A and B are shown apart, each in its own frame.
Chain A
Amino acid sequence: GAGVSQSPSNKVTEKGKDVELRCDPISGHTALYWYRQSLGQGLEFLIYFQGNSAPDKSGLPSDRFSAERTGGSVSTLTIQRTQQEDSAVYLCASSLGTGGTEAFFGQGTRLTVV
């Protein structure tokens, strides 16, 4: 596609439910990032995929969070047993390489846990 696509745009879920957030990166981009942004705050790094290397999961806040990237393309961020503090905008970005290249962002998924 022309840009990074994220779905859904908005998601409201009940506390305790599992949610899946999807990211479709720009074709050919080997690097894919997930970030979380709470209202008025900066971007909190969650996880980073680079090609076939093992992902950098150092930013995941708890074992309720996991992410996969299938076939080096689409990625899914899964949050199990959601909590109210998980409410935030989840942003995905992709780039041609590592942190030394421009990252292109999707419009994010706004997650609200009620």
Chain B
Amino acid sequence: SQQGEEDPQALSIQEGENATMNCSYKTSINNLQWYRQNSGRGLVHLILIRSNEREKHSGRLRVTLDTSKKSSSLLITASRAADTASYFCATDYNQAGTALIFGKGTTLSVSS
């Protein structure tokens, strides 16, 4: 079953604009991760935020986590055409030995 739900499903912006994607999840987590997928094949890890963190930055990426609302957001600043991809959030469960569960993703299209 899906743990996370991304919103919006699709997003189209111009180069230079910021892109914000949201992720909501259902159960308590230890951490939340964001991944990127190009052309429907392998995913690449972007950033991990732990349940005791509220915000994390990596280059042009900014991730926030609100455990009280069970939600996270991924902000990509000054977007580029090369950022065009699908973005997924993934969570573990607050139990030992459980897997990494992904949401349905947001498809981002950045036009030049």
Contact = CB atoms under 8 A, between A and B. Distances in A.
Q: Do A and B come from one complex?
A: yes
Given A41-B104, A45-B102, A48-B98, A106 B30 contact: no
- Which of A50, A56, A98, A106 has most B Cβ within 10 Å? A98
Given A42-B104, A42-B105, A99 B41 contact: no
- Consensus secondary structure, chain A interface: loop
Contact of B103 (A42, A93, A95, A103): A42
Contacts of B48: 100-102
Interface string A51-84: 0010010010000000000000000000000000
A56 B97 contact: yes
A43 interface: yes
B43 A42 contact: no
Contact of A98 (B45, B92, B101): B92
A37 B40 contact: yes
Interface string B21-44: 000000000110101000011111
Given A42-B2, A42-B105, A100-B30, A33 B100 contact: yes
Given A99-B92, A105-B42, A107-B42, A42 B30 contact: no
A79 to B, nearest CB: 19
Contacts of A99: 30-31, 90-93, 98-101
Given A100-B30, A106-B42, A50 B88 contact: no
Given A50-B97, A91-B42, A100 B102 contact: no
- Which of A56, A59, A89, A99 has most B Cβ within 10 Å? A99
Interface of A: 4, 33, 35, 37, 39, 41-43, 45, 48, 50, 53, 56, 59, 89, 91, 93, 95, 98-108
18 contacts: A4-B42, A37-B40, A41-B104, A50-B97, A56-B97, A89-B40, A89-B41, A91-B42, A93-B100, A95-B100, A98-B98, A99-B90, A99-B93, A99-B100, A100-B92, A103-B43, A103-B90, A107-B42
